């Protein structure tokens, strides 16, 4: 291997600005970036997520991310940037924009990587050593299906009495697709998830108030107290009366 081959796959830089700086990368970037904020602080804003970066932070920017960055400092802004196309690991593009928790030892390693015009074997060896520390702490981004599941759950918890059709409309997907997607990813149906959520609310009333079970049933939106008792027993393994009897106050 030679330096020319290295330079096609990696780009190491020591950037510095004064006072403030703005970068428009909404067209996306061609590399994954691991970086260290040596001086100043920054904010990186993308369509899906934004992060704030403080002095001393290590952060990661995934390849092809569309973002804008804002850099601030009293007298100097400086960060070390290590760009790479790929590493020998599973689907590196699945990692999200993030700051990375790490020990001082890792910071010492990253600041020891030589940044020169040509990237040599020593620099790469040190970089891979840093990545061996960083990789276990990187969070993967949500898949499209996971994002839909999170949105569906949020809709149900905000208004547990919405119909499946209304939830699907809010999520801009069809009702059959919503049902199959939810079932596949959670091993339960949207209605069962709704019932469990309502039972959680009912438990709160049972252990913190003296409201009658029939009243709690109405508050939680069940059609009858007998149906409420049936659903409650199914999801908690106990009757409302047993939950109330075992409360600790």
Residue 70 burial (C-beta neighbours within 10 Å; 0-12, 13-18, 19+)? middle
pLDDT band at 229 (very low <50, low <70, confident <90, very high): very high
pLDDT digits (tens, 9 = 90+) for 64-109: 899 999 999 988 999 999 999 887 655 555 788 999 988 889 999 9
Average pLDDT, integer, range 8-20 = 89
If one compares 57 and 117, the residue with the highest pLDDT of the two is 57
Residue 34 burial (C-beta neighbours within 10 Å; 0-12, 13-18, 19+)? buried
* Alpha carbon distance 216, 209 (integer Å): 10
The pLDDT of residue 95 is 87
Nearest Cα residue to 5 out of 152, 126, 146, 121: 121
pLDDT band at 54 (very low <50, low <70, confident <90, very high): very high
The pLDDT of residue 137 is 87
pLDDT digits (tens, 9 = 90+) for 95-148: 889 999 888 899 999 999 999 878 888 899 999 999 999 988 888 877 778 878
Answer yes or no: is pLDDT of 5 > 50. no
Q: What are phi and psi of 99, to 5 degrees?
A: -85, 150
CB 83 within 8 A of CB 12: yes
Lowest-confidence segment of 2-16, 179-193, 207-221 by average pLDDT: 2-16
Nearest Cα residue to 32 out of 80, 87, 100, 85: 85
The pLDDT of residue 2 is 40
Domains of the chain, first to last: 3-137 (2.60.120.810), 144-245 (1.10.10.60)
pTM: 0.59
Answer yes or no: is pLDDT of 207 > 70. yes
Type and span of the H or E element at 13 = strand 10-17
pLDDT digits (tens, 9 = 90+) for 159-175: 999 999 999 988 888 99
């Amino acid at each position: 291997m030679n330096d020319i081959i290295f330079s096609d796959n990696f780009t190491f830089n020591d950037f510095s600005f004064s006072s403030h700086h703005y970068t428009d990368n909404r067209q996306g970037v061609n590399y994954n970036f691991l970086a260290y904020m040596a001086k100043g602080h920054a904010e990186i804003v993308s369509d899906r997520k934004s992060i704030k970066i403080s002095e001393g932070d290590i952060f990661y920017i995934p390849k092809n991310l569309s973002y804008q960055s804002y850099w601030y400092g009293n007298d100097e802004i400086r960060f070390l940037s290590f760009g790479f196309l790929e590493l020998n690991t599973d689907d590196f593009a699945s990692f999200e924009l993030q700051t990375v928790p790490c020990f001082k030892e890792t910071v010492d390693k990253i600041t020891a990587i030589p940044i020169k015009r040509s990237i040599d074997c020593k620099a790469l060896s040190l970089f891979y050593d840093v990545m061996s520390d960083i990789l276990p702490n990187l969070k993967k981004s949500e898949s499209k299906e996971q994002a839909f599941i999170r949105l569906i759950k949020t809709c149900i918890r905000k208004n547990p009495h919405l119909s499946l059709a209304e939830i699907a409309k809010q999520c801009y997907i069809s009702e059959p697709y919503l049902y199959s997607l939810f079932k596949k990813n959670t091993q339960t149906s949207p209605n069962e998830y709704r019932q469990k959520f309502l039972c959680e609310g009912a438990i709160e009333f049972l252990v913190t108030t003296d409201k009658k079970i029939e009243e709690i049933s109405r508050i939680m939106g069940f059609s009858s107290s007998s149906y409420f008792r049936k659903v409650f027993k199914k999801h908690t393994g106990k009757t409302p009366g047993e939950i109330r009897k075992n409360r600790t106050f």
